Amino acid sequence: MHNAALLLTFVALFGILVTGCDKQEVGPDSTSISAESLFNAISRVEPWRSTKDYTSNDWKNAIEAARMFQNATPSTVELVLQRFAETEPGAIKDDFIEMSKLLLILRIAFDLPESATNNPSASAMTWESGRSEINADGSFNVAWPIRWNNGRPILIKRYSGLSGPAYTVLGDYHIFRSRYPFRKLPEKGSTKSP
């Protein structure tokens, strides 16, 4: 087991060096976030469901997980994303899929454009969108299925299924990390916009 963890760490670090994904600034607390605490925070996040909307408490947990994600080292993030993908590799429940937690966290953690000329996301063909990621003017909401309103996230569509290949969370992470800064999140415990 120790060798497997060491191998995953090596692969994650090698991937960062090869892809050039070392441009993202990390917070001052980046060394204090362990893989276990980040994994546990992600596990506590409510999945994107087809039968209910996110509550304010659901958003609080998701934002806290995104904040931890931002403050973890890139190698820790990659290790946790890989571990989560291996633990829940597309496990479909009654009205959600566990990997949707990572879809949401990445879209909270990164400051993604809601009006882009194209959609660079590796997940663009994975989730049933009903074309709701395309704005009225033909631009793409890269943060889909989230839209930000006065510094607060809202879901613009409930989960409605998968329509393509498995979600490649590491693909999204590498793309976002190389192209976009982290989002300024509300202060912990704050009810105000950032």
pLDDT digits (tens, 9 = 90+) for 42-86: 999 988 877 788 898 999 999 999 999 999 999 999 999 999 888
111 token code pair: 């400051």
In a domain, 191, yes or no: no
How many separate domains does the chain show?
1
Residue-level pLDDT at 132: 67
Q: Which residue has tokens 């469901």?
A: 49
> Is residue 104 classed exposed, middle or buried when 0-12, 13-18 and 19+ CB atoms within 10 A define those classes?
buried
In a domain, 40, yes or no: yes
Residue-level pLDDT at 187: 74
Query: Do 62 and 4 meet the contact criterion of CB atoms below 8 Å apart?
Result: no
In a domain, 51, yes or no: yes
In a domain, 101, yes or no: yes
pLDDT at residue 16 is higher than 70: no
pTM above 0.85, yes or no: no
Query: Do 24 and 179 meet the contact criterion of CB atoms below 8 Å apart?
Result: no
In a domain, 193, yes or no: no
Three-state secondary structure call for residue 101: helix
